[in-house]
Structure 1
Amino acid sequence: MKRIALTTAALSALIAAPAMAEVEQAGALTFKELQQEYPTLTQKEFEMVDVNKDGVADMEEIDQAEQSDVLEQAPMNDKS
């Protein structure tokens, strides 16, 4: 009985892992997504924004990049 409970718990954790990864990256932007907001963004600049090198730029990284002038400060989705 204990073995079944442990197996079930392990399988549940494996199934939940991809969902947790999606939650952790919610609000994070890939290079192409961020480039839509900053059309002149280069891959090199994106790599400077993506401080933790996880392949996406989260809002904290974007804010830091704007404050340090890696990105020009502009409201997201500003179409003016």
Structure 2
Amino acid sequence: MNYILVPALIILLILVLVSLVRGIVAFMKSTKIDLETGETQDASDMQIMQNKMMFARIKYQALAIVVVVILLALTRGG
């Protein structure tokens, strides 16, 4: 079982990192656009991307926590 859960955990952690970086890049782009134009818009494409990446990061973190809990339960029980 560990042979499946450990790679799954590594993949989830990589997905968390990728979504975090993509969210930060979208934030930086939207901030740059706001500073250059001097105006703020309601919901730009970059802000929507930020929200999507934040939700993805939270989802992957929750899944990673579930995998860690399962791994801990297996190691304590076995």
Query: Quick check: TM above 0.5?
Result: no
State TM-score, norm by structure 2. 0.35
Q: Which has the higher contact order (CA 8 A, sep 6+)?
A: 2
Q: Identify, as 1 or 2, the structure richer in helix.
A: 2
State TM-score, norm by structure 1. 0.35
